[in-house]
Every structure is written in C-alpha cells, then in structure tokens.
Structure 1
Amino acid sequence: MKSEKQKWRSRLGLIVLLAGLATWLGVICYSIATEPPKGAPNLQALRADVQKAVHDEDGDTLQNLFDEDTVSDGYAGSYVKKLGPKPVEPLQAVVKRRYGTSFVVVSGTAGQRPLCTAWQVKEKDGRQLLDGVAPAWNLCSD
C-alpha cells in the first residue's frame, strides 16, 4: 500500500505533467493564431514585401509570400542564399503585366552576374501571392 507521501508525490507529478501539457498546447495555439497571413493585401504591398525580403536576405518572409502549393518549404531560403553577397546596387522588384496577368520581377546584379527572376501573382482568399511556377513569357528581356 502507498504511503501518504507517495500518494502526494504521485498527485504532484500528475499536476506538473498536466500543467506542462497545457502550457505546451497554449504555446502551439498562440503561435498558430499569431502567424502572419500568407501573401499581401494588394499587388503593390506584395511587390514592396518581395523587395524588402530580398534586400534583407530574409528567406522566411519571402517564403510566406508564396502560395504554399507552388514551392517547396525551403524554396525562398535557397533563392536568397544563391543571391550571393549584397550587391552595390540593390535588386529591384517591379510589377509587370502580360495578357491580363501580373508578375513580380526581381532584377539587378547578384555578385558579379546579372539576375532576373519573375513570379506570377495570383489571388487566394483575398490575398495576393507569388506562384512558384515559371511564367510562360520571358519577362526579363524587356
């Protein structure tokens, strides 16, 4: 038979375990609730967010601008790493339109080489998102 001291320790252990579980669940719920929404509210905000993320070499912020169904989890981080050292002239993000479709085009010089990347813009749930599928048109030649 358990002594009173053992019973008390068992109850205390159970209370500590339940409190830890409740805290863990609270942290998970809070992080989900405060996660920023994907994309941007409008096209110009999306362009500005891309510009800032590329300039700041912030792969996490850039990743959050993509439709998650069109790129892998590490796509933006890999893209930012490939840019190399910060150029003297910062990369520029501009909006271009072709045949009724909008694109965000990032261009400039990365390291010693010219760089140009274009992403189609799509709307999803009222937010503007980048589509990781390569556009059909060469938007870097004009």
Structure 2
Amino acid sequence: MPQGRPKRSSKSRLAVIALIVGLGTWLGVVCYSIATEPPPGAPSVTALAEKARKAAADRDADGLQTLFDEDTVSDDYAADYLDRLGEDAPALQVRVEHRDGSDFLLLRSARDDSLCTAWHITERDGRRLLDGVPPAENLCAR
C-alpha cells in the first residue's frame, strides 16, 4: 500500500489561508500608498511658497521635505532645519525673489532680521522644487 501525504488538519489550512490573505492585504495597502503619494514640490512658484510657509508654520518636517529636490538635501534636512529654528521660532513670512533670471524663495522672520533662509527654486517634470544648495549671493541682506 503506497503511503500518501499526511492529512492536514483544518486548523493548519485556515492558518495558511489567513497568512496568504494577510500578506495580500498588506501588499495591497503598500502598493496603494505608493501609487497615491503626492508628487514632490508644487505645480507653481506661488503654490511652492504657500506650501513652504504652511509647513514651516506647522513645523511639518515631512511636508517641508517633499518640497526639496531629493538630490540636493539629505533625508532629514527639513527636520534638522526645523530643529535649528527651535521650539519658540518666530512667525515666518515667505517671499519669492527674481534675480538674474532665477527664482529664489526666502523664508524669514516676520518680526525682525533674526532669521532668514534662501533657497533656489528649480523645475523638474513641470514641478517647482527647492534646491538645498545655498545661493552664492546673500539674498537675505536687505
């Protein structure tokens, strides 16, 4: 008499099915979150300035990080920048300046000259992004 495979219990079959369903669900959620992730930057200079102002005011490091060209800053650039501002950071204002055919975003204190940071605005795939490399000219001098 030939020996066959041992018969599986219904509990082990249910466990395998539950594992497969769980892995499938997890994979679906990961794929969905990747597919619906917003593109980096903003569609216009005005929208980029507003997103930068809001992210800085809300101390939203992830929101600020998505505004930068990923090739010009480290993965934790925005978090480090917001940490340097400190807990009691002044109210900030954003201004876009045009110099020598280039656009720059200036984030500065609304009260005084205690804080000012300038970033070059670049374009990739129709989206506006901040370049983390400091501009050669001191744009914060009034």
TM-score by length of 2: 0.89
Does the residue aligned with 1:114 lie in a helix, a strand or coil? coil
Aligned-partner Cα distance in 1 for 2:113–2:82: 15
The amino acid that maps onto 1:133 is: V
**Which amino acid in 2 is paired with 1:86?**
A
Aligned to 1:11: 13
RMSD: 1.9
Instruction: State the match for 1:20 in structure 2.
Output: 22
Counterpart position of 1:136: 136
Alpha-carbon displacement from aligned partner over 1:1-60 (angstroms, at most 9, x marks no partner): 634xx3323322221111011011011011111211100010011011111111111111
Task: Give the 3-state SS of the residue equivalent to 2:47 in structure 1.
Answer: helix
TM-fit CA distance, 1:109: 6.7
Counting aligned pairs with the same residue, the percent is: 53
Compare 113-122 and 40-49 and name the one that shifted more.
113-122
Assess if the C-alpha contact under 8 Å between 2:93 and 2:110 holds in 1. no
Alignment of 1:52-63 (within 5 A): 52-63=54-65
Report SS of the residue matched to 2:115: strand
Where structure 1 has 5 or more consecutive residues not aligned to the other structure, the ranges are none
What's the CA shift for 1:105?
0.6
User: Which runs of 5 or more structure 2 residues have no equivalent in the other structure?
Assistant: none
Q: What residue in structure 1 maps to residue 126 of structure 2?
A: 126
Asked if 1:96 is matched to 2:110, the reply is no
Q: Does 1:48 align with 2:58?
A: no
Structure 2 counterpart of 1:96, one-letter code: E
Give the secondary-structure state (helix, strand or coil) at the position aligned to 1:2. coil
Instruction: Tell me the distance in 2 between the aligned counterparts of 1:16 and 1:91.
Output: 51
Q: Which structure has the larger Rg?
A: 2
Aligned length: 137
Task: State how far apart, in whole Å, the 1-side matches of 2:22 and 2:122 are.
Answer: 42
1:57-111 Cα shifts (integer Å, max 9, x gaps)? 1111000101111111110011111111132xx111100111101010111179x
Alignment match of 1:86 (pick from 89, 105, 121): 89
Once residues 81 and 114 of structure 1 are traced to their aligned partners in structure 2, the CA distance between those partners, rounded to angstroms, is 16
1:71 is matched with 73
> Structure 1 length as normaliser, TM-score?
0.89
Give the Cα–Cα distance (whole angstroms) in 2 for the partners of residues 42 and 123 of structure 1: 9
